[in-house]
Amino acid sequence: MSVTIIDIDEWIKRCNTLPVLDVRSPSEYTHAHIPNAFSLPLFSDEQRSIVGTLYKQRSREQAIKAGLDFFNMRKMVEDAEDLISDYYGGKKEKHNTVLVHCWRGGMRSSAVAWLLSLYGFEVFCLKGGYKSFRNWVLKVFEQKHNINILGGYTGSAKTYLLKALEQKGAQVIDLEELAHHKGSAFGGIGQPPQPSQEMFENKLAMALNMISKNTSVWIEDESQRIGSLHIPHVLWNQLRQKDVYFLDIPFNERLNHICKEYGMLDKSQLMEAVSRIKKRLGPNETKMVLEHLENGNIHDAFEILLRYYDKLYGKALNNRENYVGIINKITCTSVYIPENLQNLEKCVNALPSSF
């Protein structure tokens, strides 16, 4: 078959409909990769180190010879076939087109592309490799996006409302889902490990790129930091300029929702999370919350915590620097999603016609 070198724009058009093989080392892939790409390392981490050292200290020729010693061509082809089969749900029919990349579009991707092409695949290689993709990611954050911000104090069930919006046909990006964290000191409990900052950015950029430019996308109002991750600064500045649709839900309704949401979590993890915010929460409040949790009094513990988070969010809402958007207050009687969806619909004219 053939090997074709394509630029990043053409790559992005194809990478959501074709299998992507990342031939960098396992540690490079684990740190961050193109979303949905499969790891097909040409070299192990140790082998990559050996080849790189030879390239720097000896010669290009010596590095290539060492690389050839490590290049198990049969295994590479068979592993590629298995990964491509997995991409297509294990179907046995042969699929002949694949995307391949390495770090800078150099020898690693060239070698694998040559082999797969020789075997019968049509191969597209990314010009500039993963480095080119990362440059594209940063440019996505600099673009202007049509964004609506869904706001509300803690316990307003904003994430559930986002899901309902999505089911109705709206475009949605769930930052907390991408970050594997719900945002507060308790947000990591029961969640998978957070991705690296670079991987979070990769997933976020791809999500933004998937959004139709003709309609708006809904994003939850977040702090810039989500757990150990942060929203890229250039995008964060843009989010601060957008209209906020603020769900104004009574305190007790939100408290009941929070108690249901977090009440079943491990008590020791809850107490550990409280201890992490001791300086900001205050010594007396921290002591009371820990005592309530120890005694199984979830309601009183989270009443204190919810007032703390209300104060933080209210301050952030009122102190938006250079804020030019509008805060649209939406009065709600409870966290009941169908009712709040209707309330939101009344406030917004740009929602999909399927509402």
Neighbour-count burial of 23, counting CB atoms closer than 10 A to its CB (0-12 exposed, 13-18 middle, 19+ buried): buried
Long-range contacts of 226-229 (CB under 8 A, 24+ apart): 226/175, 226/176, 226/179, 226/181, 226/183, 226/187, 227/179, 227/180, 227/181, 227/183, 227/187, 227/188, 227/194, 228/181, 228/194, 228/197, 229/179, 229/181, 229/194, 229/195, 229/197, 229/200
Tell me the C-alpha distance between 183 and 202, whole Å. 19
Residue with tokens 């490079």: 28
Q: DSSP label at 187?
A: T
Contacts with 140 (C-beta within 8 Å, 6 or more apart), sequence order: 205, 208, 209
E strands of 23-180, at which residues? 38-39, 97-101, 122-126, 147-152, 171-173
Tell me the C-alpha distance between 81 and 267, whole Å. 47
81, HSE (Cβ side, Cα atoms, 13 Å)? 12
CA distances from 263 to 113, 225, 256, 271 (A): 53, 24, 10, 12
Task: Spot the catalytic one: 102, 125, 259, 332.
Answer: 102
332 is catalytic: no
Q: Are 4 and 123 in contact (CB under 8 A)?
A: yes
Residue type, 223: S
Going by C-alpha positions, the residue among 316, 308, 311 that lies closest to residue 281 is 308
Q: Which residues are catalytic?
A: 102
